[in-house]
Homo-oligomer: A and B are copies of this chain.
């Protein structure tokens, strides 16, 4: 059972978490708990570190920032004890949860659970593990990066060979689309790891990408559910577990992209490398890429997307690097959104992309860039059409709630 920052935001909510855990224990389940820092605490600690040392030593950052989860683990153990549940806190170094030494964004190497299992078997002692943290070589405190508590929970569930990893959060599951935009969006009962990965990386901020990858690699069944309501959430599982596969499971979107176009670039070998090499060197991620031949047959137009926050930097770099190979115009446009339809059923169903193009065309929405993968089709459109596009596609793929 993993509880995020909003679920442990104050003492009342920590007591609520304790009641939920007790209910599971009383029902005869063997549980371990992972907690995040009280919401806001991590940001305060990070701000202090940045104010003292803008270019900080990540080992000290970790020592400071890991205290947020340490406090919550102790308070949650106390709240459980108050309800008569035997419980204790575990820090990353106590388990130990061993990580590599990439401080600030460490990767988990190993999780020891022998003692935790022994104490549950002997005295029904529930482990309350401080999420987000581990211990790196040299006995230094490490943290796992943003969303690290989800990763801690999945890693612990894998080590314990748990039946399930329940991620309690402030939403009650994964939806076919953002319910704030598409009112007829439905909560999914189940979704595959692959779909969830696409949803996560495309901006449906329910689960951190890394934790889903880890769950997929170790086949950990993950449930996303609300810590404030008593309803089942969404199960993230292996494809085998889903009997009736939807062709399209959900529609995701991202406002974080910007479109960059270089016109009349010489159409010869080595040009793409000359353009994208300097961007890669500067850690600017390039996502969708389209190359279209121009009318004269000698030049080509290159269109691609970068993160909105990288746009300024990318255009500056391009003016230098592309100048060397020659180009007509450089056009950067942040007023775009990426809309993606996702579903493992696409593998065996043709026509998913066609439905998308036709639906958008009917609404008069121009598609600027297209990219596809095995289980998704993404298009870039003008941001003013975001809501219209999502609602139309949601209906077209038969996802609307009745």
Question: Residues of A at under 8 Å CB distance from B?
Answer: 11, 14-15, 45, 48-49, 51-53, 56-57, 59-61, 63-64, 66-67, 70-71, 73-75, 77-79, 81-82, 88-89, 91, 93-94, 139-141
B67 near A63: Cβ-Cβ < 8 Å: no
Instruction: Provide the bound-state CA to CA distance between A141 and B73, in Å.
Output: 13
Partner of A74 from the list B14, B49, B77, B94 (CB cut-off 8 Å) is B49
| Chain A interface main SS type | helix
A81 near B67: Cβ-Cβ < 8 Å: no
A71 near B45: Cβ-Cβ < 8 Å: yes
Instruction: Provide the bound-state CA to CA distance between A85 and B60, in Å.
Output: 14
B82 near A52: Cβ-Cβ < 8 Å: yes
Q: Please, which residues of chain B bring their CB within 8 A of the CB of A91?
A: 63, 141
Q: Please, which residues of chain B bring their CB within 8 A of the CB of A57?
A: 77-78, 81, 88
The 6 A-B pairs of least Cβ separation, nearest first, read: A64-B74, A67-B67, A63-B74, A53-B78, A60-B74, A52-B78
Q: Please, which residues of chain B bring their CB within 8 A of the CB of A15?
A: 52
Q: Please, which residues of chain B bring their CB within 8 A of the CB of A61?
A: 74, 78
Of all chain B residues, the one with the shortest Cβ separation from A49 is B78
Not counting A57-B78, A60-B88, a sample of 14 additional A-B residue pairs whose C-beta atoms are within 8 angstroms of each other reads: A11-B48, A48-B75, A49-B78, A53-B82, A57-B77, A60-B77, A60-B78, A60-B81, A61-B78, A63-B70, A63-B89, A64-B74, A64-B75, A94-B140
